[in-house]
A = this chain, B = another copy of it.
Amino acid sequence: MAKRTVAPDSELVAGLTRRQLQEIYYYLALARAAEERLEILFRQGHVHGGLYRSLGQEGESVACAYALRPRTDGTGDLIAPLIRNTGAIFVMGGTPLEYFRQYLARGAGPSRGRETNIHFTDFARGIIGPVSPLGTMMEVLAGAMLACRMRGEDRVGMIWCGDGQTSTGAWHEGINFAAVQRCPVVVVIEANRWAFSTPTALQTRAKQFVDKAVGYGIAGERVDGNDVIATYEAARRAVDRARAGEGPTLLEAETYRLRGHAQHDAQDYVPADELEQAQARDPVELFRKRLLAAAWATSAELAAVHGRVAREVEQAAQQAVADPYPEAEEACAGIYTDVEIRPPWTRLEAPDPARA
> Which residues of chain A have a CB within 8 Å of any CB of chain B?
135, 167-173, 176, 179-180, 182, 201-207, 211-218, 247
In the complex, what distance in Å separates the CA atom of A203 from the CA atom of B180?
7
Q: Are A180 and B202 in contact (CB under 8 A)?
A: yes
Q: Which B residues are CB-close (under 8 A) to A203?
A: 180
Q: Are A205 and B247 in contact (CB under 8 A)?
A: yes
Contacts A211-B215, A212-B215; is A180 near B168 (CB within 8 Å)?
Answer: no
Say how far A252's CB is from chain B's closest CB, in angstroms. Answer: 12
Q: Which B residues are CB-close (under 8 A) to A211?
A: 214-215, 217
Partner of A169 from the list B168, B180, B205 (CB cut-off 8 Å) is B168
Q: Are B205 and A214 in contact (CB under 8 A)?
A: no
Q: Which B residues are CB-close (under 8 A) to A170?
A: 169
Nearest residue (CB) in B for A179 is B205
12 other A-B residue contacts (CB within 8 Å) besides A172-B173, A211-B214: A169-B170, A169-B172, A180-B201, A180-B203, A180-B205, A205-B217, A206-B215, A206-B216, A206-B217, A207-B217, A212-B215, A214-B215
In the complex, what distance in Å separates the CA atom of A305 from the CA atom of B215?
42
Contacts A214-B211, A214-B214, A215-B214; is A173 near B180 (CB within 8 Å)?
Answer: no
Q: Which of A135, A171, A202, A216 gathers most chain B CB within 10 Å?
A: A216
Q: 18 pairs across A/B with beta carbons < 8 Å?
A: A167-B176, A168-B173, A169-B170, A172-B173, A176-B204, A179-B204, A179-B205, A180-B201, A180-B205, A182-B205, A205-B216, A205-B217, A205-B218, A206-B215, A206-B216, A206-B217, A212-B215, A214-B214
